[in-house]
Structure 1
Amino acid sequence: MGKLKLAELLFVCFMLPQGFAAVLNCSSPTASALFKELERNLFPEELMRPVENFSTPLNITLGITVVGILGLDEKSQTLSIVLWEVLEWDIHGLSWDEQQCGTNRVSVPRERLWIPDILIAEFLGDNNAQKTPYVYIYNTGHVYDDKPTSILSSCLLNIYTFPFDIQNCSLTFGSYLHFAEDIRLMHSSSSEDVLLESRNVLETNGEWELADIKVALTTLSLEDGDYSEIKFFILLRRRPTLYVVNLLIPSCFLITVDLFSFLLPPQSIDRCSFKMTLILGYTVFLLIMNDLLPVTGETTPLINVFFSISLALMVASLLETIFITNIQFTSSQYSAVPRWLKVLVLHYLAIIVCLRTKDKTTRITVCIDQSNRAMKTISTDSSGSQIISGNTLPDKLTPAPPASSPPPPLPPDPHPSIDFLKKLSRDLAAIRIQMEKHLQGSNASQEWQMIGTVIDRLLFISYIIFILTSFITIISIWIWSNSY
């Protein structure tokens, strides 16, 4: 008896470093016989990691398939997605004969086996997916665990190019407790296979489409040890059609209408009313479409900048129209244009906007007063300002009589009609001068009106540049997002 106990003790000591090992011998090829063997050899070991010994790491193969993209929340920076998560590992030493036990695989309750604690680092909230209480065990000891997973995970979103944005969300799978020396993760398929399978089974066709999936093996290093991890990078592209139709196209229509309003005469009061109506309509449009715009504190979307600049240009065009209208009706009451403003606007900005100022011309009107032999010169330039100068006619026009000669006889009294004609000529000249001054305006008034014209042309060109730049930027981002 002593020798027998010693032999049993040596056998146990020899088998202890080898860990768990069980070859099932079914009494008959029935399910009850196989489960009896599993109940006797496998299920009691559910608390132990199924490896040869404690220093042997357990290799776990992980694979996922994206079956549903529920959405991205820009405000809370979260991703809602549904996956099929597949875990595979081997139970060391477990095997049975397919012919003897009647099958090569059997489903067993999940609670009766040791299950790895693989979690998602970015996981938030609860898993609302349906529970799968069983896993497959093959006759080679291979365990196949396939379960659906509903994930609400954190995702750092970049919505600068909204609605043509592409988001890159990562899902990090790893053991919550076991170090890399206990559990090593490996991916079951390549990135191309995962993407192809996901696109084939994807059941959602909402705002987001699956652009690409990348897989990378990583290691998380901490003070206590290293953890084996697998990162899946899920690239999602937003479908921009809804936002282009509801946001960009109406906004571009309103901006285009405001652009063509520059063709209205600036002195028309209807131009101010027209622009005010456009601003009011654009403000109401932005308030209605505010729910479609993303809300986040990280970055400001480019489309919000586009709307803000569009509204600012509309307000600037209204203010400029008010300024020009005021100049047209009250410029005659203004003082002279400051020199710095005249140089800046009429000499530099006018050249930039390809608007040439009129050259000053001078027209001279000569009036001879027969009563006192004086000549008045009235100079009128293109701006309407007059310069009046007077001098006495030279003596050669009225030669003095010789000293010795007798005084000339007195001229006969002129006819009364001649005096009337002279007075009428003076009155007509005065009326003509006043009419020219009224029609042409003063020099200061014309300079103010020219400044208003230059500013109007400058804003019109700025509008065109902004619209062209915006369209080119939007089309470029759209093409880039679709060709990613």
Structure 2
Amino acid sequence: MLRSLTHSLVKAVFLLTLLTVGGGHASCTKRRCLAEILIKKEYLSQPQNDNCTHTVFVPLIEYQTLSVETKTLHIISRLQAVLVWTDPELGWNRSVYQFDKLTLPVDKVWTPELVVTNGIKTTMTPKSRDLLVHSNGTVEHTVIINAEVNCEVNLFNYPFASDNCPVAIQSWSEKGCGTDLVFGKIIMVDGSHGDWTTENVTLKQIRHDRNYIMVDLSIKYTNPFITLLLPSILIIIADMVSFALPLGGGERNCFKVTLVLSFTMFLIILNDQLPGDGQCSPIIRIHFCVCLILLVVSMLLSMLLTRLSTDGSLLSSFCCKGPVSENTGNKDLKEDEEAKADISAIQLNGSEDEGQLLRKVVNFLEALDAKTLESNRYQIFANKVDMTIFWLYSSFGSVYFIAMSCVMVKYECSVDHFDFWY
């Protein structure tokens, strides 16, 4: 009787051992055999605790900014995160299976999902097809998250812009159930990308379900300065130097018209490269507008001064048009031709005395001198006005560029980067 009871007790203990993780396969003690046993259990649901939430540790995040779309205000980021959580159903008895860890296919067990809250497009893919499982049920998994984030980057100071942009990370949680994330440290990988540089990344938390990575960005001002600001400055300087050209002959007017057309074409070509509009629209757009206005005003003033140096009046260019101006010019021309004809006739016919001939010659030369003096007087007056306009133009242009540079570098425009949570 005692022997039978002992035999039954040993059999029960043996059956109990078989009903553990080994699941009746105690004879199969290899690592792959255990993996197949765990795979057949198909634990695809989240581990359930008493409070309906499961804690997932994120001990390490590697952040990398792939590109910054200045035109659309989008940031494309890549995150590689290590996830660690505990699933007791995936543990095993070390006395039966003499190893501490094994690998399982990612799609055969439950894995947490991370999302970027303010992401327009977010994709999460496992770094490997397998994950690591420890004997106590601890699971280690690495995922790669590619996210396109809509961030209202402050571009008011472009091309000297710098700002920070949050990349909000969270997992699914609803009405007290879901996943609770606990973060560790974050490191930055490859901070230089295109025209922008990632200065620093920090991991912050507003509350348990609002975690974000604050990305500090600054633009490399060398390229936009050379392609945008420098040409506009050089064109304005060329326009200032063009005041050294004479008013007569039309060379100055032609040169200024060429500058206006060149700057207009410059704006048309660079329209697609200018940063996009936003809450803090880039002031460089206003800068280009002011430069274009300066060039057009300078061109118009040069045309008026050319007329002033010729006729001595600006009103004649507006009031005396058509036949009036034409008759005035023809009248002067006819008088000169008649005087020359009289002198020629006197010389050829010889019918007039020497005194009359001298009077006509003297009258012709006096009239010619008077016209020359009048023309010189108009030219001197126009040159004085031109010199005054040049100094006013140069002073205003210099003050404007200094003020615009200070505004671009010093002024700060505030942007609310967390409106997606509100």
TM-score when scaled to structure 1?
0.60
1-side partners of 2:81 and 2:100: how far apart?
23
Q: Structure 2 vs 1, CA of residues 217 and 473 (structure 1 numbering), >3 Å: closer, same or farther?
A: closer
2-side partners of 1:126 and 1:454: how far apart?
62
Per-residue CA deviations over 1:176-203 (Å, capped at 9, x if unaligned) read 34345653222111xxxx2xx323xx39
| Deviation, structure 1 residue 476 | 6.5
**2:188: which partner in 1?**
198
Contact map agreement 1:33 1:101 (CA 8 A) in 2 = no
Contact map agreement 1:186 1:217 (CA 8 A) in 2 = no
Q: Does 1:61 align with 2:57?
A: yes
**1:83: which partner in 2?**
79
More moved, 122-131 vs 313-322: 122-131
Partner amino acid, structure 2, of 1:83: L
Contact map agreement 1:186 1:230 (CA 8 A) in 2 = no
The structure 2 residue matched to 1:307, chosen from 288, 294, 316, is: 288
**1:284: which partner in 2?**
265
2-side partners of 1:159 and 1:126: how far apart?
25
Partner amino acid, structure 2, of 1:457: W
Unaligned runs of 5+ in 2: 1-18, 317-357, 412-422
Q: Does 1:214 align with 2:202?
A: yes
Q: Does 1:164 align with 2:160?
A: yes
SS of corresponding position for 2:139 = strand
More moved, 305-314 vs 24-33: 24-33
Partner amino acid, structure 1, of 2:236: I
**1:466: which partner in 2?**
400
Q: Does 1:272 align with 2:268?
A: no
Q: CA RMSD in A?
A: 4.2
1-side partners of 2:383 and 2:39: how far apart?
101
Partner amino acid, structure 2, of 1:111: D
Contact map agreement 2:114 2:124 (CA 8 A) in 1 = no
Q: Does 1:101 align with 2:97?
A: yes
Structure 1 segment 312-351 matched on structure 2, within 5 A: 312-331=293-312
Q: Structure 2 vs 1, CA of residues 433 and 36 (structure 1 numbering), >3 Å: closer, same or farther?
A: closer
Q: Does 1:134 align with 2:117?
A: no
The structure 2 residue matched to 1:261, chosen from 242, 255, 263, is: 242
Per-residue CA deviations over 1:124-166 (Å, capped at 9, x if unaligned) read 2362857643322222322212011222232223322223323
1-side partners of 2:43 and 2:230: how far apart?
66
Number of aligned pairs? 349
| Deviation, structure 1 residue 332 | 5.3
Q: Structure 2 vs 1, CA of residues 89 and 229 (structure 1 numbering), >3 Å: closer, same or farther?
A: farther
2-side partners of 1:128 and 1:137: how far apart?
21
Q: Structure 2 vs 1, CA of residues 66 and 209 (structure 1 numbering), >3 Å: closer, same or farther?
A: farther
The structure 1 residue matched to 2:231, chosen from 235, 243, 250, is: 250
Q: Structure 2 vs 1, CA of residues 60 and 460 (structure 1 numbering), >3 Å: closer, same or farther?
A: same
**2:351: which partner in 1?**
none
| Deviation, structure 1 residue 231 | 1.0
**1:353: which partner in 2?**
none
Contact map agreement 2:133 2:140 (CA 8 A) in 1 = yes
2-side partners of 1:434 and 1:455: how far apart?
31
The structure 1 residue matched to 2:213, chosen from 210, 215, 232, is: 232
The structure 2 residue matched to 1:454, chosen from 373, 380, 388, is: 388
| Structure index of larger Rg | 1
1-side partners of 2:67 and 2:155: how far apart?
14
Contact map agreement 1:119 1:175 (CA 8 A) in 2 = yes
| Deviation, structure 1 residue 434 | 11
2-side partners of 1:243 and 1:75: how far apart?
13
Contact map agreement 2:91 2:135 (CA 8 A) in 1 = yes
2-side partners of 1:32 and 1:93: how far apart?
17
**2:324: which partner in 1?**
none
Q: Structure 2 vs 1, CA of residues 451 and 240 (structure 1 numbering), >3 Å: closer, same or farther?
A: closer
2-side partners of 1:155 and 1:333: how far apart?
54
Partner amino acid, structure 2, of 1:38: L
Contact map agreement 1:185 1:229 (CA 8 A) in 2 = no
Unaligned runs of 5+ in 1: 1-21, 220-226, 336-423, 478-484
Contact map agreement 2:57 2:181 (CA 8 A) in 1 = yes
**1:295: which partner in 2?**
276
More moved, 303-312 vs 270-279: 303-312
Q: Structure 2 vs 1, CA of residues 123 and 310 (structure 1 numbering), >3 Å: closer, same or farther?
A: same
Structure 1 segment 390-401 matched on structure 2, within 5 A: none
2-side partners of 1:48 and 1:333: how far apart?
87
| Deviation, structure 1 residue 453 | 4.3
Partner amino acid, structure 1, of 2:45: L
The structure showing larger relative contact order (alpha-carbon pairs under 8 Å, at least 6 residues apart) is 2
Partner amino acid, structure 2, of 1:303: I
Per-residue CA deviations over 1:346-397 (Å, capped at 9, x if unaligned) read xxxxxxxxxxxxxxxxxxxxxxxxxxxxxxxxxxxxxxxxxxxxxxxxxxxx
**1:111: which partner in 2?**
107
Q: Structure 2 vs 1, CA of residues 170 and 95 (structure 1 numbering), >3 Å: closer, same or farther?
A: same
